[in-house]
Amino acid sequence: MADFRAVIFDVDGVLVDSPHELAWREALAELLTGEWAGLRECTSWTPEGFTAQVYRQVVSGRPRLDGARAALEFFGVPDAARRAVEYADRKQELLLRSIDERRFSAYDDGVRFVAVVKAAGSAVAAASSSRNAGRLLAAIPAGDGSLLESFDADLSGREVAHGKPAPDLFLAAAAELGVPPERCVVVEDAVSGIAAAKAGGMWALGVARFDDAAELEAAGADLVVTSLDEVDVDAFTAGRLARRGSV
């Protein structure tokens, strides 16, 4: 049994079906068919090759520059460390345009789960590696305000010494909420995020929205669900992570 006193939410993939993935994909396509066209033959990149699986395994959950460099290295783009800055900037331009045009949606089960755990007495924090997560959350209605207003703390994009899979961001969220790490539950959809939660001594609730439950379990998740509606709220209130209907 545990006494869950705080829930720390990743945003992209947990609460929001955000435009990050599309922005990374389109930015690289623009560069390798435009300014970097001369490099294309040196790479393994194809328009179809930047799949959702590549995004989740290589980019998701990382700080922006780390994600840019990792994607360029994955596709064999020369001088990846230097070119990562230009790639990250192009991705950011496309992302902000998508947010302004509201080309994203919230996961209803995620919005409901935030309300449920708050009603159960847990403090809640948003802790995404993305500096744009707060902007996304502010655009989502919840109750009488926005989803962003539901959180007791928002550390999205906070500068930390080490990004995920290091636990720095989640530990900072726990400290800001005034809750010991062992009393925190992290809700994540990325392997790097699950690893970060466990490295910080926290409970990890994995959300497998893309048929990747096995990967999240292998990373150490204490419970993996495909929808947060599957979480047994009574068990959660009692200090257990369990799926509805389980013994």
- Catalytic residue, from 3, 10, 89, 222: name it: 10
Altogether, the residues listed in the chain come to a count of 247
- Catalytic residue, from 12, 109, 212, 222: name it: 12
Nearest to 14 by CA among 176, 147, 122, 143: 147
Is 154 among the residues known to form the active site?
Answer: no
Nearest to 149 by CA among 138, 158, 133: 138
Nearest to 168 by CA among 66, 57, 20: 66
- Judging by DSSP bridges, how do beta strands 223-225 and 203-207 pair with one another? parallel
Round to whole Å and give the CA distance between 152 and 46: 43
Burial class (CB in 10 A: 0-12, 13-18, 19+), 197: buried
Nearest to 232 by CA among 113, 108, 107, 118: 113
Is 66 among the residues known to form the active site?
Answer: no
Round to whole Å and give the CA distance between 10 and 165: 13
Residue 18 and residue 12 in contact, taking contact as beta carbons nearer than 8 Å: yes
The DSSP symbol for 12 reads B
Task: Give the tokens for residue 127.
Answer: 């802790």
CB atoms closer than 10 angstroms to residue 193: 34
Nearest to 63 by CA among 174, 134, 169: 169
Catalytic residues: 10, 12
